[in-house]
Amino acid sequence: MSRTFQSDPELTHRLTRRGMLGVATGATAAALLGAAAAPATAATDTASGVAGRGRPVLPPGRLGIQLYSLRDKVSTLGFAPVFAELAKYGYDEVEFAGYTQGSAGPITLAQLKRLARNHGLNSIGSHVGYYSSDPNAYTFAQNLTKVLDDAQALGLKHIGTASGPFRYGSTVDAWKRAAEEFNTYGAAAKARGMKFYQHNHSEEFSFATDNPKVRLYDVLLAETDPDLVFLEMDIFWAYSGQFRFSQRPDGTPAPFEPLDYVLRQPHRYPLFHVKDGVSDPANQYGYRMVDVGEGDIDYKEFISKVTRRTHGGRRYHHWQTEHDNPVESFAFARKSSEHLNSLRERCGY
């Protein structure tokens, strides 16, 4: 493909501070095991009016979690106790970040698929590396067939990567080359009834080194086939990208609004990472990561606008909570579920 890229003029984002700080995060796992599902269930009671009036913002059946957030529990307790806790907290879906469980012992893909199903959890997706210098590495570039075989064995509808398209550098042509590889992976996934997706960090919103007027994320969107390559917006990292790259290298303004990317092409974003942060201009990323509901990102507005724009979005999009390094991972999972299930709005979809 040969195209001329220009970053769209976009609005500056608006965030509102949430007053949900101070929830204890140092509780032991044993204490958390006894404090499970009731809050999330109560939060969805629209008749009582206790949790707020109106319809729930979170689409029914679409609350998920990226298991990377619980990697400490998976690697010690195993998938079974983790899935049991997530079911108590009201989760519907899980996104994998690997299929092993460390000291808890070996587990087959068939066992893992059955375990998730038995706990009422839909295995919605998985993160796999894009490429490696090791020719035998478990990545899309080195082992595409195996990656897709495993995803198919688990019954996944989505299979993706959290790696940025920087394999060949940060020029426009380098990202065009990576985009063509993504198209290849997308075509192979589609042939098996799955969607290939890419999960962003903040660097994807930086500018091409050979053309500082071009935002690299725009190259990715333009050069990938929308029928083959999908996106999982990590909302925290997108706003971090907004903080870091609202000016071009020469200092000229280049504002953008992460939500606008989604609203322009909502069906390219089947998955989202719901990750929160407290605004902190002294931090190089612009935010300090916190549990969902304890930060400044207005998820009521974000989720509502996405579901309204797509009309059928309540059945289309999937919202995965995540924290890269939670203080206590079960506490993070529980509080994040409670917060998202408490969000309500008066208007319909």
Say which residue, 345 or 85, is predicted with more confidence.
85
- What is the tens place of the pLDDT at every residue in 144-162? 999 999 999 999 999 999 9
pLDDT in the model for residue 30: 33
pLDDT in the model for residue 2: 37
Model confidence at 37, pLDDT cuts 50, 70, 90, reads very low
pLDDT in the model for residue 48: 34
Complete DSSP assignment for 209-270: TTEEEEEHHHHHHHHS-TTTEEEEEEHHHHHHHHHHSSB-TTS-B----HHHHHHHSGGG--
Say which residue, 225 or 307, is predicted with more confidence.
225
pLDDT in the model for residue 21: 25
Which residue from 295, 293, 261, 291 is spatially nearest to 277, judged by alpha carbons? 295
- Name the residue ranges covered by the structural domains of the chain: 61-345
Q: What is the pTM of this model?
A: 0.84
Structure tokens at 224: 């990938």
pLDDT in the model for residue 349: 39
Q: Judge whether residue 11 has pLDDT over 50.
A: no
- Tell me the average pLDDT of the chain: 86
pLDDT in the model for residue 39: 36
pLDDT in the model for residue 315: 67
pLDDT in the model for residue 32: 31
Element (H, E) at 272: strand 271-274
- What is the tens place of the pLDDT at every residue in 193-233? 999 999 999 999 999 999 999 999 999 999 999 999 999 99
pLDDT in the model for residue 310: 67
Q: Judge whether residue 337 has pLDDT over 90.
A: yes
Taking the C-alpha atoms of residue 92 and residue 120, their distance in angstroms, rounded to an integer, is: 7
pLDDT in the model for residue 308: 84
pLDDT in the model for residue 167: 98
pLDDT in the model for residue 245: 98
Taking the C-alpha atoms of residue 307 and residue 238, their distance in angstroms, rounded to an integer, is: 19
pLDDT in the model for residue 217: 98
Question: What percentage of the chain carries pLDDT values higher than 90?
Answer: 80
Q: Where are the alpha helices (DSSP H) in the chain?
A: 29-33, 38-43, 71-76, 79-88, 109-118, 140-153, 172-191, 216-223, 235-244, 258-264, 299-310, 329-342
CATH 3.90.1150.150 assigned to 61-345 = no
